[in-house]
Amino acid sequence: MVRPSCPALVVHDDDAFRKALIATLDQHHFTVTFSADGDRAVDLLRDRKFTVAIVGLNIHSKRGTRALECLRDANVRNGTRVLILGEPDPQLRTYAPWADETLLKPVDPAYVVTRALVYCGD
């Protein structure tokens, strides 16, 4: 039996990781929209509804901060579940305490998808 599609947004600037993550999400019947930068992600979040957003951004940049604000709004407004992929930083969780999960890099794309699957049945 094929699972119903789950709309996912992937925002990550590492091309190789993003492609591996998208391929793994495709295998698990996610409908994937992706972006390599926070500005495009902001536009996508304003135009569409996603069940889950998987985001690896430089949260210390102005663009990263803007994307986090938009993700927070999508989380509140649409119930978009947010998984943040970040560099080991003791304060990472303080940047987005509302995120559903914060995963430290390096992280395996298959593990990220396993975590994202948790939110597709909500």
Q: In this predicted model, what pLDDT tens digit does every residue of 90-114 receive, in sequence order?
A: 677 777 788 899 898 899 999 999 9
DSSP letter assigned to residue 28: T
- Specify if 84 maps to a domain: yes
Domain that holds residue 29: 6-117
76-94: burial string, b at 16+ Cβ within 10 Å, e else: eeeebbbbbbbeeeeebee
pTM: 0.90
Whole-angstrom distance, CA of residue 29 vs CA of residue 7: 9
Question: How does pLDDT run across 19-69, given as a tens digit for each residue?
Answer: 999 999 999 999 999 998 888 888 999 899 999 999 987 666 667 778 888
Sign of the dihedral through C-alpha 77, 73, 45, 94: negative
User: Is the confidence at residue 87, as pLDDT, over 60?
Assistant: yes
The CATH number covering residue 85 comes to: 3.40.50.2300
Domain count, the chain: 1
- Specify if 20 maps to a domain: yes
- Specify if 102 maps to a domain: yes
- Specify if 37 maps to a domain: yes
- Element holding 26 (H helix, E strand): helix 15-27
Question: How does pLDDT run across 28-38, given as a tens digit for each residue?
Answer: 999 999 998 88
